[in-house]
Every structure is written in structure tokens, then in C-alpha cells.
Chain A
């Protein structure tokens, strides 16, 4: 079974609008962490935001926020006020706890295209 699922292979958003990228996860470990990365066409992996399973509040970093719904096992990334430079692949990842040896596994990614 997939541990991390990103159901949107590609998305368009108008510049300056907000966009939500979906991520659902599957783990039985009570301690885990969720990461989002951006991969522009140049290929590097850029860390965006992190949410821990015990964090009470949703994580925010500038224009990025994470909509964490623990009961639904979802950790959607919200990008506010999209910019042309946001066009990239976005990956959700999960770090499981000690029971799973601290594995860090990735979803298949979503390609975001920002329209001017």
C-alpha cells in the first residue's frame, strides 16, 4: 500500500490566487512528521514546510501553510498569492517514527503551473 498519496498529477493556478495541493498518508506509527518539498525544473529539492504529528497548530512558513487533518490523515499544502516562480513539482513526504526505522518516503508529486 502507498504510504504517501498525491492524487493530483498536475494543476493550474492563476497568478496571485491561492492553491491547495493534496497529500494523504498512511501510517500506524503515532509519531511521524510530514514534509513538503519543491522541485523546480533545475532539479534541486527545496524544503518548504514541516508538520509533526503531535503539533497542535498547522505549520506556516511565509506563503506556505499546511492544512493538517490528523483524523483524515491528510496534510495538504496551501500556497497563497501564487507567483510565476512557484511553477514546479511539489512532493509530500512522511518520516515515520522509530518503529519504522525513521524512514522518509515520498509521494509521486504534483506539477503546479502558474498562469500569468
Chain B
């Protein structure tokens, strides 16, 4: 099934560990986004990339870094995980009137 693929689906980290969440889309979309969703809340924008080679901070960028490796891939890195980063992470891609999401990554930091 084409679309937005996120890996991993689940992850448990210890405080201070690092990890990278991967996202790839095969729809040739220019814009890609990373969000976090805390329980019972909406989606908050962490970082986004309007096109290959550009990235910008969203509402809650602290503690994260991103890489737009090419048009297909947009990764999110946690350099030193903290319990406050426990959340569900969604990647999305958009072109024009289409915007689609990956299945989400449930991350727990203990």
C-alpha cells in the first residue's frame, strides 16, 4: 500500500538514549511534517520541510532535530530522550490539496 511509511511503530527508550524515527513517502510530495500527539490532545507541529533541502521549526521543536535526506525521506531525531517526549509521533506529507499521514510511532521514554 503506497503512502507514508513510518518506522518503528513502537519504541521504548531509557532517559538519555537517542533514536531516529524514519519517515518515507512515495507520492512525490514536496512538503513533509513531524507531529506529536499527547493523550487526549491535538497534533502539535515539531518540524516541517516545505521542500527538499529545507527544514523549519514548528510549535514544539526543542529536543528534536530533523533531516530531509531527499524528497522521499524526512527523519526525526531525539538526541537525549526525556520522559516528556513520551508521545505518539506522526509523519505527514502534502502536495496541494492532498495531505496524508503515516500510521504513527508510539514512543515511551522511561
A residues engaging B (CB < 8 A)? 6, 33, 35, 37, 43-45, 47, 50, 52, 91, 93, 95, 101-109
**Structural contact, B42 and A50, CB atoms closer than 8 A:** no
Question: What are 25 A-to-B residue pairs whose CB atoms are below 8 Å?
Answer: A37-B101, A43-B88, A44-B101, A45-B43, A45-B90, A45-B92, A47-B98, A50-B97, A50-B98, A52-B97, A93-B99, A95-B99, A102-B31, A102-B48, A103-B45, A103-B56, A104-B31, A104-B33, A104-B48, A104-B92, A106-B43, A106-B45, A108-B41, A108-B42, A109-B42
Q: Is B64 interfacial (CB 8 A cutoff)?
A: no
**Structural contact, A43 and B104, CB atoms closer than 8 A:** yes
Give 1 or 0 for each of B59-92: 1 = CB within 8 Å of chain A CB: 1000000000000000000000000000010101
* Sample of 12 further A-B pairs with CB below 8 A, known A108-B41, A109-B41: A45-B43, A50-B97, A50-B98, A91-B42, A93-B43, A93-B99, A95-B99, A103-B56, A104-B31, A104-B33, A104-B48, A106-B35
B residues engaging A (CB < 8 A)? 31, 33, 35, 41-45, 48, 50, 56, 58-59, 88, 90, 92, 94, 97-101, 103-104
Give B102 Cβ to nearest chain A Cβ, in Å: 9
Given that A52-B97, A95-B94, A102-B50 are contacting pairs, would A44 and B58 also be in contact in the complex, using a CB cutoff of 8 Å?
A: no
**Structural contact, B43 and A91, CB atoms closer than 8 A:** yes
Select one of A33, A47, A108 contacting B100, CB under 8 A. A47
A interface SS class: strand
B interface SS class: strand
Give A87 Cβ to nearest chain B Cβ, in Å: 16
Chain A, residue nearest B43 (CB): A106
Give B60 Cβ to nearest chain A Cβ, in Å: 11
**Structural contact, A107 and B31, CB atoms closer than 8 A:** no
Select one of B41, B42, B48 contacting A103, CB under 8 A. B48
**Structural contact, B48 and A101, CB atoms closer than 8 A:** yes
**Structural contact, B94 and A44, CB atoms closer than 8 A:** no
Chain A, residue nearest B94 (CB): A104
Given that A43-B88, A44-B104, A95-B94 are contacting pairs, would A106 and B42 also be in contact in the complex, using a CB cutoff of 8 Å?
A: yes
